[in-house]
Amino acid sequence: MNERDSEIMSQALAMSGYVESMDIEDADLVILNTCSIRAKAEQKVMSLLGMLRKVKKSRKGMQICVAGCVAQQEGERLVEKMPHIDLVVGTQNIYNIGDLLEKARVSPGYIAIGMEDEYAIPRFMPNESEDSSKASAERDVPTTFRKFVTIMQGCNNYCAYCVVPYTRGREVSRKVSDIIDEVKAVVASGVKEITLLGQNVNSYGRTNIVTDNGLPYTFSDLLHAVSKIPGVARLRFTTSNPKDLSDELMKCFKDIPNLCPQFHLPVQAGSDAVLKKMNRKYSVEQYLELVDTLRSYCPDIALSTDIIVGFPGETDEDFQGTMEMLERVRYHGSFSFKYSDRPGTRSSDFEDKVPEDVKTTRLIQFQARQDEISLEQNRKYVGQIKEIMIEAITDEGVKGRTSSNHIVHVNEESTAIPGDFIRVEIYHAGQHSLKGKLIQE
């Protein structure tokens, strides 16, 4: 999400004539695009801002802008704490960052964090006008062949621990035609892999009308439509809340050939009591049924998840449930976090907080077992032939990605360049990547 927002800001700035600087020391503008999902990310922003105060002193006219979720939540408080900030721009205000920076020139410390009631995601397109197409032409030469396309923003779920509904506002789905137009434009610029992006893509089209004729339209409909756009070689999406995962959507993995066999399905915890307190609205058994169904449609699907350890009230037994989840699902990989209190969330008021050292022990135990399982899962690929899309040239050869989202290193001379598809035979598996050798066709 933040990565896509950074792209949007950099496109908007390119249209206003800005060029990217490689070094903070000679930048006229520094934007910190911040995340407040966990306390650690927020602390990093504060220390970076401290460092920037010194840089700004020695560089006349430099502007410092804070964007993203910390900006949205902290607003004026940020400028009070750090008066050298020129602009605070909220999650829904990034589209006109160029104008806002001009305003901040006149009144430094400018705050733009309004969330409009009738907010609709602006129709941001890479080449909207003659002028902008000139400005962005150079930038559109793809440095990556994979792009995110936002399909919705905000979230109405209010999981007890989560700050997103407060920092990104209510859930709004983008119009189908706007999404299709953007995918077409992105593909025309050379991109081959599209990831549809939203906090809970499964509920796409449920909170507002997304079609011109007013008819209902689901996320599965969107997947089918996007998959048919010529040039979309690979299609992915993220993220999904299990509570809204329909059979129709799971079946897409069987029916859509260019939908990659990979699914990120955050479970958060393996105990019904904890899931209930988290307000996740599914049980362990329901989640496992979804996994079975997914595998019945797509036996090779690579599953990954998000886990929170040490949610308030989590007992040893609850945590064992989470460990068991690993054994039962055998995820290819996971993102795991220690629970962290976020301002304004319901769980920050819960009293039965788990001590820090217990959270740390649980996290280490979880990650160690996940690493073993990832390795076991990856070893299954050894001996298999896979198609990879090249992402980078490395010192040893090239690096690419399988449709199951595994990185493959090919350590031999090849004429392949980023964006090419080549076939390799996997001969080695590590926890986080694979090694393959070229197949001579």
Give me the residues that bind ligand SF4 (CB under 6 A), please.
Answer: 155, 157-159, 162, 164-165, 199-200, 241
Nearer to ligand SAH, 280 or 386 (CB): 280
How far is residue 420's CA from residue 425's CA, in Å, rounded to a whole number? 16
Name the binder of 306 from ligand SAH, ligand SF4, none, CB < 5-8 A by kind.
ligand SAH
Nearest in space to 307 (alpha carbons), one of 337, 339, 273: 337
Name the binder of 339 from ligand SAH, ligand SF4, none, CB < 5-8 A by kind.
ligand SAH
- Give residues in contact with ligand SAH (CB under 6 A): 37-38, 161-162, 164, 199-200, 239, 241, 266, 268, 306, 308, 337, 339-340, 342
Name the binder of 340 from ligand SF4, ligand SAH, none, CB < 5-8 A by kind.
ligand SAH
Tell me how far, at minimum, the Cβ of 308 lies from ligand SF4, in Å: 9
Query: What DSSP letter does each residue of 15-51 carry, written as one string?
Result: HTT----S-GGG-SEEEEEE--SSHHHHHHHHHHHHH
Tell me how far, at minimum, the Cβ of 311 lies from ligand SF4, in Å: 12
Phi, psi torsion values for 2, nearest 5 degrees: -65, -35
Tell me how far, at minimum, the Cβ of 69 lies from ligand SF4, in Å: 11
Name the binder of 337 from ligand SAH, ligand SF4, none, CB < 5-8 A by kind.
ligand SAH
Nearer to ligand SF4, 191 or 197 (CB): 197
Which residue matches tokens 């037994």?
Answer: 317
- The contacts of residue 110 (CB under 8 Å, 6+ apart) are 86, 87, 88, 100, 103, 104
Name the binder of 387 from ligand SAH, ligand SF4, none, CB < 5-8 A by kind.
none
Nearer to ligand SF4, 189 or 334 (CB): 334
Nearer to ligand SF4, 297 or 350 (CB): 350
Nearest in space to 223 (alpha carbons), one of 183, 189, 172, 170: 183
Tell me how far, at minimum, the Cβ of 199 lies from ligand SAH, in Å: 4
Nearer to ligand SF4, 101 or 325 (CB): 325
User: Is residue 128 helix, strand or coil?
Assistant: coil
Which residue matches tokens 């964090």?
Answer: 113
DSSP annotation of 290: H
Q: Which two tokens stand for residue 347?
A: 């769980």
Tell me how far, at minimum, the Cβ of 341 lies from ligand SAH, in Å: 7
169 and 154 Cβ atoms separated by less than 8 Å: yes
Which residue matches tokens 């080549």?
Answer: 422
Name the binder of 406 from ligand SF4, ligand SAH, none, CB < 5-8 A by kind.
none
Tell me how far, at minimum, the Cβ of 346 lies from ligand SAH, in Å: 11
Q: How many H-runs (helices) and E-runs (strands) does the chain carry? A: 14, 17
